[in-house]
Structure 1
C-alpha cells in the first residue's frame, strides 16, 4: 500500500520525462531547418519568400495540429493523441528526407508539423495534470528542457553531417540526412508512450473513478489522492457542460487573455527568428559558414544551460517574477543588438554576447513559463480545447515571424528588425508586470476556483 502522505517523485518524474520526449521532437524539427535551409536554397534555387515558406510551412502543420489537439484529446485522451503525434512526426521526417521536389518536401513538413502541434499542446498539459502542485513548474518545464536539448543536439548533428562531405555533398545529400535523423527520436517517443498511464484528470472526467484514484494514489499517497479526487470531481461537476463558452465568463476571460497574449509574446519577441536564422545573422557581422555554425552551437548551449537554471528557480521564485525579470533583460539585449547593427561596423563579439544574453533571459522566463502557464490556468472540463486556443495563437505568431523575418531582414536590415523585437519585449515586460497572476504552489483546482471567483 502506498503511504498516506508519500509523494512518488520517481514515478512522476519518469512519466514526465517520457512525455517530455515530445519536446525533443519539437526542438529537433523546428531547428533542423537552420542547418538545411542554406543548402536547400542552392539545390532548389529559392528566393527570399520561398526560403521563408520552406522554413515556416512546418508551422502551418503545427497550427492544424494544435487546433485539433484540444478537442481530440478531450475526447480520446492525452496519451492516444501523443502517440499519434509521434507517428506523424516520424512519417514527416522520412518523406521530407526523401523528397525529390520542393512541393513534396513542403507537404512532408506540414505532416510532421501536425505532429509537433499536437505534442507541443498536449505534453505540458499532460504533465501538469499528473504532477504534484509543489513540483508542477519544474516537471512541466522538463518539456522545455527537452525542446532545448533537441535544438542543441541538431546543431551538433548538422555540423557533423556538413563535415562529412564537400560542397556538392552538402547541397545534394547533407540536408536529407539532417531531416531523416528525426526518425530516431520519433520512434523512441511512440515506444516510450506505450509505457505511461493516461492523465488522472482525463480518466475522472470520463468516469473512470477507480483508475483515476489508483493513479493519484500512486503519485501522492492515499490521503492526498482522496482529497485531490474530490477536488477534481467538484471542479468537473461545477462546470458540467464543458462548453468553451466557459472561457468567456468574467474570471476565465482574463485567463484566456493571459494564455493567448503570453503565447503570442513568446514568439514575436524574436527567439525563433534567432534559432531558425542564427547562421545567417552571424554572417551579417562577418562570420564565415563554419564560424557562424559554431556560434550557433554556442547559442544552443546557452539556451540549454539557462533552461536548467529555470528548472531550479521556477517553483521557488515563481512564474510572474521570472517573466518580469526575463522580459526586462530581453528588451535591453535586443536594443543593444539593434544599435550595433545600425552602426557602420557592428562589433561581432558584442552582437554575439547580447544575443546570448537574450537567449539566456528567454530560457529562464518566456521559454518554459509560457507553456507552463497555458497548461495551468484553464478549467479541467475544457483544458484541452482552451490550451489548444493558446497554442494555435502561439504557432500563428511563430508562422508570421518565420515567414516574414528573412523578408524584413532583407528589406529593412537587421537594426530595424531587432528594434521591433525590442519594442515587443518591452510590451511583454509591461504585460507580465500588470496582468499575469502567480500560480506557484497551487493545485489546478485551486487556480480554477480563483478564476471563477473573480
Structure 2
C-alpha cells in the first residue's frame, strides 16, 4: 500500500511533469486574449485594429529556451552537488518567480524575464524529475512509473487549454492572468512535495552516506529500514555505483566516441525531428493561428487537440514511426491542397480542423511516444545523464527555432504564409520519415545489455528488426533466456532477457 508520504513524493514528480506540459499550452491561449493583445500589441495603420506583432509573439514564446538551456546545463553539472531534493526546491522557487512576473502584466522586457525564469525551472525539472523517478523506484515499479510520466506531460497541456477556454470571456486581464497564475498552484504542490521527499538513495550512496541512503529507501519503499529488502536494494545500488566508478569519472567528450557517438546522434536527431514535424506550432500558436484562418471557437479546437494528444499518448508500446509519420504527412498535404484549391471556405476550415486532430493523434501515438523513448533509451548507463542533457539541449534549441521563426512566416503582417505552412510541415515530415527508416533501430522489448550489443555490433537500423528476431529465446524452469547471438561469444550467449536472475 502506498503511504501518504509516498503519494506526496510521486505527486511532486508527476506535478513537475504537468508543469512542463502546462507551459507548452498556456501561452497559446494567452496570446489570443483581446486584453493581452491590447496591452502588448500594436495598431494596424489601415483599419485601426490591435494585433501582436510577429516580433512580440516570437520573443514571448521563444526566449523561454534561454532559461531551459541554462537550467539543463545546471542540472547536469550541479544537480549532484545540490541534490535532487535541492533541485526541486530551486526549480519551484525559480518557477514561482517567473510565473509571478508574467502574471503582474509588466512591461514586455519584464514579461520576457519572467519567461526566462520559468525556463530555468523547466530545464532543471526536465533532467532531475525523471532521474529522481528512476533512482527512487523499485525494479518492478520503474517501468510502470516511467510510462505514467508521459501522461502528466500531456495532461498539463489539457489543463492549460481548458483554463484558457473557461476564462476567455472574462473581463480585462483576468481573461489571461488566471491562466498564468494557475501555475503557482502547481509550483506549490512541487514545493510541498519536496518537503516530504528524501534525497535520492543513489546520490546518498555516492556521497558515502549509507545510513541516510537506508533511511531514504525506507521512506520510498514504505518498508522498515532494517528489512532484508532494503539491504538487497542498497547492495544493488552500491554494486552499480562501484561498476561505474571502476571506469573513472565520466567526461562529456566520451559521448562523441565509439558506439556512444551513434547513440548520442540518434537521441539528439530525434530531439530535433520530433519538433521539426510541426507539433510545437500547433500547441504554441494553434489558438491564434486558427483564429487568423477563420476557424470558429479556436479555443475549443485547441482544447480538443490537447485532449487528443493526451488520450493517444502511449497507447501502443509497439508504435511505428513510419506508419505514424505517413499519416501525419498525408494530413498536412491534404490541408495544404484543399486550402490552395478552395481557400477560406467551409471545406477549407473543416479540413484544417479534422486533419489537425488526426495529425495530433498520429503524432501522440507514434512520434510523441517513441520520440521520448528514443531520446532516453539508447544511452549507455555510464553516460546517460550527459547524453540526456545534450539531447534536451538540442530539443529545446529546436523548440526555440520553431517558436522564433514561425510568426515571421505565418502572420499576415509578415510573410503571410498562413495555412500554406502545411506544405512546410509536410516536407519536414517526409524528411523525418526518411531519417527514421535509415537511422532509428527497433529497440522495444530489448534489455539494456541487448541494446548495448546492438550498437556494439553496428546493426543498421533497417536490419534491426531481423537482428532482434535472431536473438531468439529458450525457456529453462519457466524462465526465458537468450540464445547465443553468434557463436564464440560468451557475453552474447549469457545476455539475459529483461532482468531475469539466473
**TM bracket, shorter-chain basis:** 0.7 to 0.9
Equivalent runs, 1:436-447 vs 2, <5 Å = 436-440=440-444, 447=451
Size of the alignment, in residue pairs?
433
- Indicate the residue corresponding to 2:175 in structure 1: 174
The yes-or-no answer on 1:55 pairing with 2:58 is no
Greater fraction of residues in helix: 1
- Structure-2 change in CA distance of 1:189 and 1:50 (3 Å): same
1:271 and 2:279 matched: yes
Q: Does 1:348 align with 2:349?
A: yes
Tell me which residue corresponds to 2:119.
113
Match of 1:430 in 2: 434
Q: 1:313 aligns with which of 305, 313, 316?
A: 316
What residue is the counterpart of 2:325 in the other structure?
A: 327
* Preserved CA contact (<8 Å) 1:252 1:452: no
Matches of 2:11 and 2:369, distance apart in 1: 15
Separation in 2, partners of 1:31, 1:175: 13
CA change 1:435–1:48 in 2 (3 A) is: same
**Residue 339 in 1 paired to residue 329 in 2?**
no
Where do 1:58-137 residues align within 5 Å?
A: 58-131=64-137, 136-137=142-143
What is the Cα deviation at residue 11 of structure 1? 9.7
Q: Distance in 2 between matches of 1:100 and 1:414?
A: 30
Write the deviation string for residues 187-219 of structure 1: whole angstroms up to 9, x where unpaired. 111111333344444344444456557767975
Q: What corresponds to 2:256 in structure 1? A: 248
Structure 1 residues 87 and 80, CA, compared in 2 at 3 Å: closer, same or farther? same
Q: Find the aligned partners of 1:445 and 1:83 in 2 and give their Cα distance.
A: 35
For 1:104 and 1:230, the matched residues in 2 are separated by 47
Contact 2:294 2:349 in 1 (8 A): yes
Partner of 2:485: none
Measure, in 1, the Cα distance between the counterparts of 2:127 and 2:118. 14
The CA distance in 2 between the partners of 1:244 and 1:284, in whole Å, is: 45
Query: How far apart, CA to CA, are the structure 1 residues paired with 2:236 and 2:332?
Result: 44
Match of 1:232 among 240, 246, 271: 240
Secondary structure in 2 aligned to 1:181? helix
For residue 105 of structure 1, report the CA deviation from its aligned partner.
0.8
Per the alignment, in what secondary structure is the counterpart of residue 376 of structure 1? Answer: coil
Q: For the Cα contact (< 8 Å) 1:17–1:142, is it kept in 2?
A: no
Q: Which 10-residue stretch deviates more, 193-202 or 382-391?
A: 193-202
Q: Is the 8 A contact 2:169 2:175 kept in 1?
A: no
1:207-264 CA deviation, whole Å, 9 max, x = no partner? 4456557767975946973774365135413432211122122111111111111111
Deviations along 1:96-135, one digit per CA (max 9) or x if unpaired, are 1113311111111111111012112222333234445676
- Measured after TM superposition, the shift of residue 406 of structure 1 is 1.4
Instruction: Give 3-state SS (helix, strand or coil) of 1:375's partner.
Output: coil
Equivalent residues of 1:89, 1:115 under 8 A apart: yes
CA contact (8 A) 2:205 2:238 kept: no
Is contact 1:124-1:375 (8 Å) kept? Answer: no
**Bigger mean CA deviation after superposition, 73-82 or 239-248:** 73-82
8 Å contact 2:14–2:149 — kept in the other structure?
A: yes
* Aligned equivalent of 1:24, options 15, 18, 32: 18
Cα distance in 1 for partners of 2:204, 2:335 equals 49
Inter-CA distance 201–324: structure 2 relative to 1 (3 Å threshold): farther
Taking structure 2 as the reference length, the TM-score comes to: 0.77
Mean Cα deviation higher: 43-52 or 145-154: 43-52
Distance 1:235 1:370 in 2: 30
Q: CA RMSD in A?
A: 3.1
Instruction: Provide the C-alpha distance between the structure 2 equivalents of 1:296 and 1:125, rounded to a whole number of angstroms.
Output: 31
Displacement, 1:92? 0.8
Structure 2 portions without partners, runs of 5+: 42-51, 222-227, 459-502
> CA offsets per residue over residues 64-86 of structure 1, 9 Å max, x none?
21222211224333332122112
2:192 & 2:165 partners in 1: Cα distance?
28
Higher relative contact order (CA 8 A, sep 6+): 1
Change over 3 Å in CA distance of 1:284–1:194 after alignment to 2: same
- For structure 1, the 5+ residue unaligned runs are 1-6
| 2:295 paired residue number | 287
2:436 and 2:239 map into 1 onto residues whose CA distance is 29
Give the Cα separation in 1 of the matches to 2:451 and 2:8: 25
Deviation at 1:444, TM superposition (A): 5.4
> For the structure 1 residues 14 and 373, does the alpha-carbon distance in structure 2 shift closer, same or farther, using more than 3 Å as the test?
farther
1:155–1:207 Cα change, 3 Å:
same
Residue 393 (structure 1) shift: 0.6
For the residues of structure 2 that align with 1:124 and 1:263, how far apart are their CA atoms? 17
Quote the Cα distance in structure 1 between the aligned partners of 2:8 and 2:178: 31
> Which residue number in structure 2 is paired with residue 4 of structure 1?
none
